[in-house]
Structure 1
Amino acid sequence: MNRLLIVNATIVNENRSFKADVLISDGYIERIGSDLSGLPADLVIDANGQYLLPGVIDDQVHFREPGLTHKATIRSESRAAVAGGVTTFMEMPNTVPNALTQELLADKYAIAARSSMANYSFFMGVSNDNLAEVLRTDPRSVCGIKVFMGSSTGSMLVDDEHVLNELFRESPMLIATHCEDEATVRANTEHYRATYGDKATAALHPLVRNEAACLTSSSLAVELAQRHNTRLHILHISTADELSLFTNATALRDKRITAEVCVHHLWFDSRDYEQSGNQIKCNPAIKDAHHKEALLAALLDDRLDIIATDHAPHTWAEKQQPYWQAPAGLPLVQHPLLMMLEFVQQGKLSIETLVRKMCHAPADCFRIEKRGYIREGYWADLVLVDTNQPTTVSKQNLLYQCGWSPLEGHTFGATVTHTIVSGELVYQNGTFLADRAGKRLVFDR
């Protein structure tokens, strides 16, 4: 399909909502106008009564391939992403083997080129002994460097202060960090294991991985970035305590230090462990309700820049293990847009802010070339949503390979009806129209 015409849409873009048509040609947005209905097209979609949004860009997912494909694959999770309006993802390096060499990183790109429904990029991983390899990473073709300053799989915990200092001093590109202080977490783990033993439940998780662990580690990352003028992006901020580390005094594209909040830290709080238990066990932990409210406020006033998912699927059997053995992480990439549209419907944020935080800001933060906006000459990554058509989450409509969600049974007030990836209509009213459409991201650096 070379030419696709969308007519009568309400476009949400660059802090505006307006009625217009969009002509897509050979993958790109050719024209945006008030009356394009007479132009020739291979397919016309009448979007009357629907919102047309830029595709969501999720800068933090774990798609588990290679090595952990009993949980998920790039194919399965990118399909779930597209069905939820996520047209672009950036995936983490703690697969098996960990992506700690340029060759292993290239292997992941090759898998995505064969199988990804969504546009893609992959982070280069850091360990205590691969700094020279990390510094070979190409800023134009790789989204960033990922540092686990807290627990991770394999050898990816970076706790050598000399290595951290050298990395922040030498890296020419964005460093994304998972910030939890390992010494604090280990001490808390020992204390609560001794106190509760096998009777421990997920309700202890925000105590084991507490506010102090987050603030100690985030403060160190910010201090290193300020010392070396490093481009730092702190992932999944989960506490009110950390918010003073960030500013809204500078435009996003000029910030040297940015931060994101994940949908589950805005949606759930510690009261939800009673019902959901290990299903919402994640790192950093979901904490007390006052943190949730503070995170939303910081998102609205631009101290927090991006909304992401940290999509991290595990099998149902793995999650049914006792608290200490159950892995951390929850599957979310099919539903972040619907979750935040519910916030819009509740009056917690505007739809223009949603688009800014989920589409524009990731593109600006990572300097993605020609994506994240509805602009002539940009790639056509677009989503149509019907805010009058509800969606109930059930096992029958889940596309995650793991087959479960902590949102099961919840009814959202909106539905994703169409998803366009790099100019190709890939999803329409519950049906996939293509097998693969994703393209590798390019960065304007």
Structure 2
Amino acid sequence: MIRANRRLILAVGALALVVGLAFAYRGGWLPGFSGGGTGNQSGRDGPRRETTVTVTTAEVRLADVPVTIDAVGTVQALNTVTIRTQVDGQLLRLRFSEGQDVRKGDILAEIDPALYQAQYDQAVAKRAQDEANLANARVDLTRYEKLVVSHYASKQQHATQQALVAQLEAQVRADQAAIENAKTTLDYATIRSPIDGHAGIRLVDVGNIVHPSDPTGIVVITQLRPIFVVFTLPQQTLPAVQKAQTQGAAKVAALGPDNASVIETGELSVIDNQIDPQTGTVRLKATFPNPNLSLWPGQFVNVRLTLDLLKDVVTAPSPAVQRGPNGAFVYVLGDNNVARLRMVTTGRQDEKIAVITSGLEPGETVITSGFSRLFDGAETRVVNAQAPPAEAPPTAGGVPPLDRGAGESPRRERGARSNGARIR
């Protein structure tokens, strides 16, 4: 009985294996067998399997390609001023709103001026008193001059009166200096903005007694138009940066978090005069007009510095360039939409555009997707036949940025075939 059951189980297993192999053969899943192709059959009665690969394409073209380098920078205000009082007193009023744009000379705050007004009035009165004494002394001097001529007064009396006049003239000049000092102190009670800028949050409230020694001040004014971005680059790039600066204003673009959208464009303004020996980097400063206040002090931004411009070079979309054991290759769309594998040599490359130094000519069409089923000689169906040629992403100069070398191209498709062999 046990032997009969065992034989039955073995017979059922063998039958299942035969059925599975038959289905695998008819579907073309067995190694060494093809399930079909256009115009072919896997067996006498096997179904046909379509091998046409759906792809997208782009045109190889000539373009001007900038040589760029990326970094991370910090936005800094052109000028930052902490507004403080220069005299002691009670803060009577604030004449600005938080977050307001202020102009140079605008009144920001007022300190109680009563004490300083009294000192000013006192200095003015003292000058008036001394001027009256000086006028009287000058009249007496004129009289002594006449008496000396008539021998009714001695020369010593005349000289003494001359000295008194000179003394009073000096006193009047000292009074004028005291008036100017009191006037300056009185003016300090009215606090004005020293620059054009943007007012921050107030640091003290009306009614408080303020002093010049207060650590916080009253408000901070920052100048945001124009504005700086400070960033660092490796010391190896310094010769290229210096060369770019000698050829004219080197363009700098502040990029968004996606490292593609341009927030603001500016120019390289300063290269620091020394290299940091601990990090091996050099600091640079770029100036941005910032008309729309897109950049804000303290903000971190991605920075793209344009070092050079490659003119009229052959370019192709980076997804078209694949990597294999023998180097970089592309699939060129040939006659009758047949894919042809071709080895190429690349220059600078980023995630969108690759410079082709050899292997392609302008006007040829390369395949940009569908590599998992693609092989040399495969028939293809193009789904973007009416699409425009591949365009380079715009930057501040209207040309695509390329900031990687030939060996840094990311692989877009892992399942590409080279001469019928799968490359991984």
Larger Rg: 2
**What interval of TM-score do these two structures reach, taking the shorter chain for normalisation?**
under 0.3
TM-score between both structures, scaled by the size of structure 1: 0.19
TM-score between both structures, scaled by the size of structure 2: 0.20
Higher strand share: 2
